[in-house]
Amino acid sequence: MELRPYTERDLPELVGLLNEAYKGRHEFIPYTKEKLRAELEEASSVLLAIDERGRVLGLARLHREWYGEEITLCAQPGPAQEEVKERLLLAIEQYARSGEVSVVVDAEDQEELAFFVSKGYRSESSFYQLIAELDKPQPLPPLPEGYLLRSLRPDEEEVFVRVVNTAYEGERLRSGVLARWSAEDPAFSTDWVQVAELKGELVAAVVARTDHEFNRHYHAKRGYLGPAATLPEHRGKGLGKALTAQAMNFLRERGLDQASLYTWEGNPVALRVTRGLGFRVSYEWKILTKMVKGLL
């Protein structure tokens, strides 16, 4: 067995590997070559494990998210699976530049959790998918004097991106994100982005979108809500709850019957607010982290 970087010619085999390995996972949507190519092109490092016949045994991907560096690991089932995962994990960790890496594992997958714990990872927190039924309008809570809710205007992308990234203390969004969302879903426009302003300045935002991949694959009518982003000096005023309620109503008015959003255990305010709006935890993943040296 050898390890080598991914090349474009590996793509068809990798699509088959991942679709077989992830079959049966929560709300899994099969990969296409285009979808996987886009994910691998955004990764900072991709390594493959190859057998003596040149067949792919496993894949490790290191990618940077707004919160840090994350590893995705997949190996063919079989007698060599443990060895493949161990070698890929050790090798991909060396490419980390931040000193800490994370993995996200289904909370129900005790075998996978035990594997990462045995390699020095520790459980950090839980990551949740929450679902709400859009069977009735949400009342909008009153806001402090001067605050106004409205939709984003097309010329406000730069300030919108700045508000979101400031609120999350990281590069969660980049310029051009509105065009990308429109390309992914022609129904999307700036009307789907709900914002709060004070004296003409944007101070908070919630993005509503259709869950287009899920809807297409599962023949559903579900919307997606991004987490509320509020500038630090405007927190504690109910803006996140009001914007989320308004975004839920927006989705309902467009014929969607469910809304999904994602948050993590370390954000108890978001959990409390969303549960108050009718969201329930639908699925849980565990986030595990490890300090690494990153030699490459």
Q: For residue 183, give the CATH number of its domain.
A: 3.40.630.30
- Would 45 be classed as within a structural domain? yes
Q: Are 207 and 230 in contact (CB under 8 A)?
A: no
Do 28 and 155 fall into the same domain? no
Do 168 and 234 fall into the same domain? yes
Q: Which two tokens stand for residue 209?
A: 């979108």
pLDDT below 70 — which residues of the chain?
294-296
Do 141 and 278 fall into the same domain? yes
- Would 111 be classed as within a structural domain? no
Show contacts of 132-136: CB within 8 Å, 24+ apart.
132/248, 132/258, 132/259, 132/274, 132/277, 132/278, 132/279, 132/280, 133/257, 133/258, 133/278, 134/223, 134/248, 134/251, 134/252, 134/256, 134/257, 134/258, 134/259, 135/257
Can you give the residue range of the structural domain that contains 85? 2-98
- Would 93 be classed as within a structural domain? yes
Do 188 and 260 fall into the same domain? yes
Q: Cα separations (Å) of 234 from 143, 239, 240?
A: 12, 8, 10
- Would 117 be classed as within a structural domain? no
Do 76 and 147 fall into the same domain? no
**Tally of domains within the chain:** 2
The radius of gyration of the chain from alpha carbons, rounded to an integer in Å, stands at 21
Predicted confidence at residue 1, as pLDDT, reads 92
Do 57 and 6 fall into the same domain? yes
Do 192 and 259 fall into the same domain? yes
Beta bridge partners of 48: 4, 59
Residue at a domain's end among 98, 120, 150: 98
Pick from 99, 23, 27, 102: which is nearest to 61 by CA?
A: 102
Predicted confidence at residue 294, as pLDDT, reads 59
Residue at a domain's end among 81, 98, 115: 98
- Would 179 be classed as within a structural domain? yes
Predicted confidence at residue 67, as pLDDT, reads 83
Predicted confidence at residue 61, as pLDDT, reads 98
Do 191 and 258 fall into the same domain? yes
Do 37 and 94 fall into the same domain? yes
Residue at a domain's end among 50, 79, 98: 98
Say whether pTM exceeds 0.85: yes
Q: Which amino acid is at 254?
A: R
